[in-house]
Structures are given as C-alpha cells and as structure tokens.
Amino acid sequence: MSRPDTASVPTFEEIERLVRDHGITHVGVASPDILHDTRSVLHRRKRRGLHDGMQFTYRNPDRSTDPRRAVPDAHSVIVAARSYLTETEPSPPSTGVPARVGRYAWVDHYEPLRVGLRTVAALLRDAGHRALVFADDNSMVDRAIAQRAGLGWFGKNANLLLPGAGSFFVLGSIVTSARYEPNTTPVSDGCGTCVRCIDGCPTDAIIAPGVIDGARCLSWILQKPGPIPVEFRRAVHDRIYGCDDCQDVCPISVRLGRRNTIDLDVGGDEVQAYVDVLALLDSTDAEIEARHGRWWIAGREMRWLRRNALVVIGNTADPADRDVRAVLDRYRSDDDPILVEHALWADARLDERATPAP
Ligand code: B12
Ligand code: SF4
Ligand code: SF4
C-alpha cells in the first residue's frame, strides 16, 4: 500500500477516492527515473522510420522519457487510467453517408481525466509540493510510465492492457515532488499465445508484437498530412478518424472492458460516433473546425478531414446517389490538388462498385 511521507499530502487511498468522481478507476505510482528502455525504443523506431514523421513523444525522446525534465525534484509519478468504453453503442444515422469515429474520440475523454488529475495536483501544491499533469502530451510516454506504475502490460497491439479490464482506457499522470511508494512489480504478460490483433489489423501495421509501423497504421494515416497512399484507401473503408480494429478483436478488452464502462451523456458533449461525410464536404472550414477542432488534425487544416471524407464516399456511398456524385463533381474542380485527386479516386471507386464483378 502506498503512503505519503508527510501528513500534509493526500494519502494514496484519498487520491484514489478523489479521482473516482472523474471516472478514473485505476491509479498507480511509478518512480520518476529515466525510462531508458523506452528512450532507446523511440530512437530505434525513429531510425527505422517507423514513426513516419510523427512528432509527439518522438520529437524529443530525451525529454518524453525523463519525468524530471518537468519537475526536477520529482519523487513520484502518479499514473491514472480512465475507461472510454460505453455500455451501449450509438447506431449509424440512416441519412447521409455515415463515417465511423474511433471510440476514444466520440466525446472528449482526456478533459475529464485531466480535471481529475488537476484536482489532485492542486492538493499537492497546497501542501507545498510541485505537481504537473500530463495526458496525451508530447512530454511524457504515457503507456510506458503507466506500465512502470503497475497499471498493465504491453499488448501485442502496443496498447497497455489493464488486468481484468483491457485497453479501452486513456492514460495520464502527475509528476510530483511528493513522495509515494512506487510500484516495483511489473504486471506479467496476459496475451499468451493470442495473436488476434496482429491478424485483425486491416493494413498489417503490427509488424511485430508491440511494434506499430506508423506509415501503415490507419489511425496515423487519417491524421497525417498529404495524400492517403492509394494502397490503403480501401482499408480506410468508412473511417474518418481513429481505428479500433486491433482492440475490437481483443478478447480481453472486449469481454473484461465491460466491467468499467462509462456513460457518454455525463459530460453533456455532443456524441460523435458517426459523421455524415456528405454534410462535412458541404461545410466550411470554420464549421468543420467548430465540430471537430478537438481532434488532432495535422496543422489544424480541415482539408485532411475532407480528404478522409472523400475516401469514405468512394468506399461506402451509393454509386447511384445523385447528391454524392454532385459533391464529387464539385471537388473535382477544387483549388486543392490533393482533394481533386481524392475526388477522382472516389468517383472511380464508385464506378467500380456500381459494376458487378464478372
Ligand atoms: C504517437 C501516438 C500514436 C501514434 C503511434 C502509436 C504507437 N503505437 O506508437 C498513432 C497515431 C498511430 C496512435 C494510434 C493510437 N493511439 Co495513440 N498515442 C500516441 C502518443 C502521443 C505517443 C505514443 C508513443 O510514444 N509511441 C512510441 C512507441 C515507442 O511507443 P509504444 O508503441 O507505446 O511502444 C511500446 C511497446 O512497443 C513496448 N514494447 C517494446 N518492445 C516490446 C516488445 C513486445 C513483445 C511488446 C508486447 C511490447 C513492446 O514498449 C514501447 C515503449 O513503451 C500517446 C500519448 C503519449 N504522450 O504517450 C498516445 C496513446 C499511446 N494513444 C492512445 C490511443 C487510445 C490510441 C488509439 C487506440 C487511437 C485510435 N483508436 O485510433 C490508436 C492505437 C494504435 C496502436 N495499436 O498503437 C492511448 C493508448 C492508451 C492505452 N491503453 O494504451 C495513448 C497513451 C494516449 C493516452 N494518453 O491515453 N497513437
Ligand atoms: S489502429 Fe488499426 S491500423 Fe493501427 S494497428 Fe490497430 S488495427 Fe492496425
Ligand atoms: S488481441 Fe490478443 S495478443 Fe492482441 S492485445 Fe489482445 S490479448 Fe494481446
């Protein structure tokens, strides 16, 4: 059991209770020593090009693997996990051309996680300590610090799986000068001989257990700038943002994740499980940004969501739908050559789908 070294800071048990109000069900403590293994993995993957130009934690591996860069006198990292799995799933709308959104982006799950962690950080600061919160930030490798805190193991799909709960969790942490007893026992591997995520990835992006080739991962392909490589456009299918396949096939995450489901309505945010791409392609950049601005879109340029939408149209829209063809006609004469090329591809794909195979 972890205990603070002074009476003025909240106990570990008090922290667990406090964050529970914010949907955080799992908390652990890690030492703030440099994460040397992860640092070498980041450097190695960068050298092999597996980051495919991604910045995030790759931008400065020496910083993202050293909690003391943020808090030089850090003694502990308090790590937290919050489920984003829901009991029921919204159904696709019956109008327009619906595109799927990754579960983690249906509503903003990071904000309630950060609010919970900030509540604790404020108490630690009141007690005279330094305390900084990180969640999906470039300065901290969230999975690796959570693994060190004993929250879970690295699955073959690279996600951190929590024992008895799976991987549908977002992760965050507080680096603090307060002293809590760190975890020293890593959670043992729970994947065993299972390889369902490797087999279930639509683009073979899991090139070895726990190793993702960014250039093949649809989650990155839908976020990154530039044209979507033609070889992956069919695999995009109806996705506009995020990809859940390697988790949706995971028996542990699907079955045991149900023990920690959340209620989507609680935050009052609009639930964005589906996006009508026909409506999106008819919207202005300002309108798209107003709806989806919290998503990570390269350079905050809405053209990348339009690009994704065009691919979804080609893959899933009714080839005989005149509204669909009219939208593609418009985009074929757009000023943006990348959108023109994607509209041409979508048109050709619709034609191909309209023609029955011989
Ligand atoms: C960059 C990034 C991405 C990139 C690259 C993902 C990747 N695997 O590297 C892209 C855009 C593709 C992505 C996608 C997703 N992401 Co992301 N992403 C990040 C980010 C910003 C950095 C991750 C990172 O440092 N990667 C670098 C590599 C080195 O780390 P790694 O893949 O975790 O590698 C570890 C394992 O390979 C392990 N390892 C090493 N050797 C071996 C050997 C074996 C056998 C095994 C099993 C493991 C193993 O050690 C490595 C280092 O710790 C973090 C937030 C953060 N600040 O940490 C979120 C984060 C990892 N993403 C998250 C989520 C939710 C997703 C998606 C599910 C979103 C979606 N639905 O589309 C997908 C999942 C894709 C996947 N299978 O990984 C969550 C993951 C939560 C969890 N339970 O694991 C995070 C932690 C955000 C958060 N704070 O909650 N993401
Ligand atoms: S997120 Fe999708 S594309 Fe990326 S590794 Fe998982 S299943 Fe493959
Ligand atoms: S699908 Fe199987 S191998 Fe992949 S993470 Fe889940 S349990 Fe592990």
Measured distance CA(279)–CA(317) in Å, rounded: 13
Ligand 2 contacts (CB < 6 A) are 157, 201, 203, 205-206, 212, 217-219, 243, 245-246
The protein residue with its alpha carbon nearest to ligand 3, atom 1, reads: 250
- Kindly tell me the burial class for residue 192, based on how many C-beta atoms sit within 10 Å of its own C-beta (0-12, 13-18, 19 or more): exposed
Residue 319 CA to ligand 1 center (angstroms) comes to 37
**Cα 330 to ligand 1 centre (Å):** 38
Q: Does residue 287 sit in helix, strand or coil?
A: helix
From 169, 193, 195, 250, give the residue whose CB has the most ligand 3 atoms within 8 Å, as the site to mutate: 250
| CA–CA gap between residue 158 and residue 154 (Å, rounded) | 6
Contact 294, 108 (CB under 8 A): yes
For residue 318 and ligand 1, the question of a CB distance below 6 A is answered with no
How many angstroms does the Cα of residue 157 sit away from the middle of ligand 3? Answer: 6
Q: Rounded to the nearest whole angstrom, what is the distance from the C-alpha of residue 122 to the centroid of ligand 3?
A: 37
The pLDDT assigned to 323 comes to 96
Check: CATH 1.20.144 for 6-88+106-176? Answer: no
State yes or no: pLDDT of 7 exceeds 50: no
Residue 1 has pLDDT above 80, yes or no: no
| Distance of CA 26 from the midpoint of ligand 3 (Å) | 20
Catalytically active residues are: 136
pLDDT higher than threshold 70 for residue 267: no
**pLDDT tens for each residue of 169-183:** 999 999 999 999 999
Q: What is the pTM of this model?
A: 0.96
Instruction: Quick: pLDDT tens for 59-88.
Output: 999 999 999 999 999 999 999 999 999 988
**For position 146, what pLDDT does the model report?**
98
Ligand nearest to the CA of 160: 1
Q: Which two tokens stand for residue 241?
A: 């943002």
Rounded CA-CA distance 121/130 in Å is: 8
pLDDT of res. 3? 46
- DSSP letter at 93 equals P
The domain locations on the chain are 6-88+106-176, 198-354
Closest approach atom of ligand 1 to CA 223 = 11
When pLDDT is cut at 50, 70 and 90, the band that residue 356 belongs to is confident
Pocket residues: Cβ below 6 A from ligand 3: 155-157, 161, 191, 194-197, 249-250, 252
pLDDT tens for 281-308 read 999 999 999 999 999 999 999 999 999 9
| Mean predicted confidence (pLDDT) in 296-321 | 98
Q: What average pLDDT does range 26-33 have in this prediction?
A: 98
Pocket residue to mutate for ligand 2, from 50, 51, 217, most atoms within 8 A of Cβ: 217
> Which amino acid is located at 84 in the chain?
Y
- Closest residue by CA, ligand 3 atom 7: 191
| Segment 179-228, tens digit of pLDDT | 999 999 999 999 999 999 999 999 999 999 999 999 999 999 999 999 99
Mean pLDDT of the 344-357 span: 93
Name every residue whose Cβ is closer than 8 Å to that of residue 320 and which is 6 or more positions away in sequence. 354
Ligand nearest to the CA of 237: 2
